[in-house]
Amino acid sequence: MELREPKRKRVGNHIKPQQPFPILIESESGIPADSDLWPVYIGNFTGDCVIICNPEEMKSLYTMGFFGKGSLSRGYPSFGLIKKGIPPIIKERQWQRRKSWIDKMKKNLSDTFKQVNDITNTSGDIYEGEKSGEQIKLGTNDVSPMDVDSTISESCVVKECDVQNSDSDVKDSDIPDSDAHPDNLKDMKVRDCEVTEFDFTDKVLVLADSDDDDIEKVLRDPQPHIEDEKIKTVVETLNLTLEEAFFLSYALGCLQVIDLSGQTMSLKKMWHTFCQIKPDFIESYVTYHHFRAKGWVVKSGFKFGGNFLLYKQGPPFFHASYVVLVERVDSQLNRYNDSLTWTKLHGLNRLAENSGKDIITCQVVFPDSLAPEDLMSPKSLAKFQVNELLTKRWISSQERVEKEFS
């Protein structure tokens, strides 16, 4: 049976092919692998997934291996980015909602600062001592100085920086006028750097709402205006599935996961927590690890009725070649449940054919010698066996034609 040739996408040049994993690969980067240079990404466990908040880490994890998905995007986390010199575009009602959120955030921050100032001001108040009956005043001036070792005090001396005449090279003509029009920024020079375009950082382009009754009026005059968004109220994150997060931590050793209490999760704790949240996590992760080790880019297959989708190089370059169904079986290949019926398999096969894909049934074999307590640790991963079954619909006329020409 011939394997399906991956179908290349017509578009997708916005992301260039990079190395397959977000770690140091000597054959790809030319840099020898070293523990001191090994990248470590920080993720936060939210209860059902692991999120990455740092923009640089989000970019590295997605472009090098296509791990995760943007929380506000279809794939690559591109929400709110400046594209082709144009700031993010939102509707008027969205901007009004964001303004209300900004006002609430400012109010909460001011209340917090006020509470801190009140606590600071009352730190020098007079308290009555219950033991002696005397009044004790707690003030900053009454605290006795600490004895500091001489070697430490010498190392803490702040040296004076040589900043003499640091502003002497800046001329008055080099400083742009604050009332200058943005169109005249092209002619300005700050020192030796030419400003060639308007800086749209922290800016949004607001258009009129398009769901009004008079849609033609909105199209003729969308009423565009630029607004400042100094405080970001809508921030995109990169969401990793449980399988992706554990693969990055266990197989690649480049992800550090923080739990809900702010503590770093060990591999054993991650394994135990993920198994509690997702009952089929073991067979799901074994399948994910199996195909990742084969060089496939593994993504969620829920929209095609399966567990995973297999891509060559990544979703921007090729369409998915296979839909993966995960089954848990014993050493005699008996299913633990009857969730995969012939009716369901027939429907999935038709759906896969219409979308140009094949179905792979991945059987994860649980050995009989594996005790229940062994499943509570990732050390048991080496004991599992994986069987692949390629499923295709039998067409009698096609078989007759093949026999005639064979």
The residues that are catalytic are 311, 319, 357
Instruction: Reduce the secondary structure of the chain to three states and give it as a string.
Output: CCCCCCCECCCCCCCCCCCCCCCCCHHHHCCCCCCCCCCCEEEEECCCCEEECCHHHHHHHHHCCCCCEECCCCCCCCCCCCECCECCEEEHHHHHHHHHHHHHHHHHHHHHHHHHHHHHHHHHCEEECCCCCCEEECCHHHCCCCCCCHHHHHHCCCCCCCCCCCCCCCCHHHCCCCCCCHHHHHHCEECCEECCCCCCCCEEEEECCCCCCCHHHHHHCCCCEEEECCCCCCCCCEEECHHHHHHHHHHCCCEEEECCCCCECCHHHHHHHHHHHCCCHHHHHHHHHHHHHCCCEEEECHHHCCCEEEECCCCCCECCCEEEEEEEECCCCCECCCCCCHHHHHHHHHHHHHCCCEEEEEEEECCCCCCHHHHHCHHHHHHCEEEEEEECCCCHHHHHHHHHHC
